[in-house]
Amino acid sequence: MDLVQLILIALGLAIMLIVPFIARLISPSNDNSYTYRKHKALFSPAERSFLGVLDQAIGDQYRVLGKVRIADVITPQKGMSRQHWQGAFNRISAKHFDYLLCDKESLNVVAAIELDDNSHQRANRQQRDQLITDACLTAELPLIRFSAQRSYHIDKVRSSIHTSLKPLVATKASQHINQATI
């Protein structure tokens, strides 16, 4: 055997050993045995504290739900191209509302509530906040924002909620009157 043949044999053996290793690294795993861990809490301490304030502020008329995926509440309008619709859906599908204010009996969504802490000063959070604001505006879903604080005055929170919902209540009342006169 000459040197060239020995090099070719060595190169062949190296390729036979390396290729399966590289293939495993770059190919997706067929192993479906993913593992998960449970989060310790659904809410951060600030969110949990504010949930207690919301519960006191809303009384018996509403129910508060937390951490609901935005795409489970609103969806892109019909009439878009499939690609445009999918793009709009993808922008909201991995995001959630901090809280939803729902009618206590029907669980119809009345408003979304966001609790804004210091992270909302960052540019990426401001872009997310603007996306949420625009999505709620076009979906005609009231969005109520509160700044995270050490303590809250329940009457002020209640007043902010009712003030934000007044246009909604007025619209429903006028629709009810219009339906009654038809």
- Edge to edge, the sheet with strand 62-69 lists 62-69, 96-103, 109-116, 143-147
Bridge partners (DSSP) of residue 75 are none
Domains delineated in the chain:
45-181 (3.40.1350)
**Structure token digits, residue 178:** 């219009």
- pLDDT digits (tens), the chain, 182 positions: 777 776 767 676 667 777 666 656 665 556 678 899 998 999 989 999 999 999 999 988 899 999 999 999 999 999 999 999 999 999 999 999 999 999 999 999 999 999 988 776 777 778 888 999 999 999 999 999 999 999 999 999 999 999 999 765 545 544 434 444 34
List the one residue out of 124, 138, 122, 126 whose CA is nearest residue 88: 138
Residues with Cβ within 8 Å of residue 160, at least 6 apart in sequence: 144, 146
Query: Is residue 113 within 8 Å of 99, Cβ to Cβ?
Result: yes
For 30, counting Cβ atoms within 10 Å of its Cβ (0-12 exposed, 13-18 middle, 19+ buried), the class is exposed
H-helix or E-strand spanning residue 98: strand 96-103
Q: Position of tokens 């590289």?
A: 22
In a 3-state reduction of DSSP, which class is residue 82? helix
CA torsion sign, 12 to 16 to 18 to 24?
A: positive
